[in-house]
Chains A and B, each alone.
Chain A
């Protein structure tokens, strides 16, 4: 089974450890102090949102029929063998046209600091054990790297559905 970063919404405390770990893992220096010393502005590719009283992280879902791949005019956005959807490491280069940004329903593609390329979860942050940086950093088990199974999927999103219902009243 292909692995995904699964989100247990009931466990997130909003500490943003995942954001920091993601940004640092994708920095050239590879560690926080090095990145700061280099004057880098590490950018996260996972986003912790506030929904009413609830915090909730969200990152790329590596969609099956990924809209961002359809939209990419450069042919840069592609799917790797392990299912990872990414605009780096392929044959073509990202040209910063934001077509993918326009169609990603979760808003998890952002521009880099200089506005020269699109940044998204590329799983380039996995450690020797193959675990992504955000998952490794999460102290509560809100993020898990595993194969998906339907039943636990339902339970994981229930709390999010309730929180959204409170803020919007229309779910």
Chain B
């Protein structure tokens, strides 16, 4: 059988490994990616900016990965069209790849603001290694940077630039506080305190009106809607991502908040599967249709898609789509499941410098936040995921004594 995979990141790599592990060596596997070079961890790009990691150390797999698995890698070439009838994928350079089964794992791309000057030199998004290289090469030559967006990528970028030695780093946030989609007020305040003490500034309830350019067309500053002007030689826009679903969409496949797939991760096009940031999933607790947009999900979907492409019929269970872990200085935060619900309990544990918040929906733990120390978080995640009664454990969970819950997880899953 001929397998073609478009995309060489979390979902693509997991699929390749699974195709070989479960399918042996006889199948032909080709991976196409529009990025040059080896697979790397996108999530670690901020560490690269901060100077904490090198390009070498953010590789996801060793250099001989594809050769060892006997996989053909076509790098630096985009797939531009899909002909499901002929079972062909057309590449930018005119090549045509025939497949028996195709996996679309094309991920997502950053949303760009539609404001004047967004194309100025010095305005970036951070999604690819190329982006990171461009930002890293400009950063030492400027003294002030503006980050648009108070989400995880925005804050990680701000922290990284500060760590790299940039003097003035300001985050412009549309909402009244940071991490509005990941954290409640208390946990967000812990993160904000940490970032402020690192020297990062925040402007809330503010929108960018224009990027202002100087003489040579380089960025000179950012103008806000309220009239304020912030001088800056570098700006990074981190306002979320959009799924790369056009290959499938233009070929007549169904798309919504990403490529629509069934529980076997099949698109509506025959013999075409999809996994990762490019697909739409149904959230396990809210039952809402949302973009996938998480590393963990991309990886597990790549695994499931590959098994299904081999004909093993592995239904992919509805995932938790809030599943975030982040570190800012000494503050670790983990946020899973719903942020709000019928019954909310929260407590700061001064002994362990840890804030815990639980959201219950009836007997069921629907979500939680841990900020400070996060050891044992997975025990809570498993409760949210399984949906089994957890109300009797509320005190232990709130106090971070989750031992008996861990053991009950053991009985449930093992």
> Are B295 and A96 in contact, with the CB atoms below 8 A?
no
Q: Which of A93, A101, A167 contacts B377 (CB 8 A)?
A: A101
Which of A25-33, A102-110, A134-142 is near enough to bind chain B?
Answer: A102-110
> Are A164 and B378 in contact, with the CB atoms below 8 A?
no
> Are A73 and B411 in contact, with the CB atoms below 8 A?
no
**CB-nearest residue of chain A relative to B335?**
A102
> Are B382 and A105 in contact, with the CB atoms below 8 A?
yes
> Are A107 and B379 in contact, with the CB atoms below 8 A?
yes
A99 within 8 A of B: yes
Which of A16-24, A34-42, A49-57, A121-129 is near enough to bind chain B?
Answer: A49-57
Using A75-B41, A98-B327, A102-B325 as known contacts, say yes or no to A164 and B411 having CB atoms under 8 A apart: yes
Using A70-B299, A170-B389 as known contacts, say yes or no to A157 and B403 having CB atoms under 8 A apart: no
Q: How far is the CB of B19 from the nearest CB of chain A, in Å?
A: 15
> Are A102 and B323 in contact, with the CB atoms below 8 A?
yes
B408 within 8 A of A: yes
A144 within 8 A of B: no
Chain A, interface residues (CB within 8 Å), range = 35 or more
Chain A positions 87 through 105: 1 when the CB is less than 8 Å from some CB of chain B, otherwise 0: 0000111011111111111
> Are A71 and B299 in contact, with the CB atoms below 8 A?
yes
> Are A93 and B57 in contact, with the CB atoms below 8 A?
yes
A71 CA to B389 CA, complexed, in Å = 25
Q: How far is the CB of B290 from the nearest CB of chain A, in Å?
A: 19
Q: Which residues of A contact B408 (CB under 8 A)?
A: 164, 168, 171
Total of A-B residue pairs, C-beta within 8 Å: 141
Chain B positions 199 through 232: 1 when the CB is less than 8 Å from some CB of chain A, otherwise 0: 0000000000000000000000000000000000
Q: Which of A49, A50, A97 contacts B43 (CB 8 A)?
A: A97
Q: How far is the CB of B248 from the nearest CB of chain A, in Å?
A: 24
**CB-nearest residue of chain A relative to B330?**
A115
> Are A49 and B403 in contact, with the CB atoms below 8 A?
yes
Q: Which residues of B contact A65 (CB under 8 A)?
A: 303
A67 CA to B413 CA, complexed, in Å = 12
> Are A56 and B407 in contact, with the CB atoms below 8 A?
yes
> Are B406 and A75 in contact, with the CB atoms below 8 A?
no
Of all A-B residue pairs in the complex, the 9 with the closest CB atoms, nearest first, are A49-B403, A105-B382, A104-B378, A107-B376, A73-B43, A107-B379, A70-B299, A75-B60, A105-B409
Q: Which residues of A contact B (CB under 8 A)?
A: 47, 49-52, 56, 58, 61, 65, 67, 69-71, 73-75, 91-93, 95-111, 115, 157, 160-161, 164, 167-171
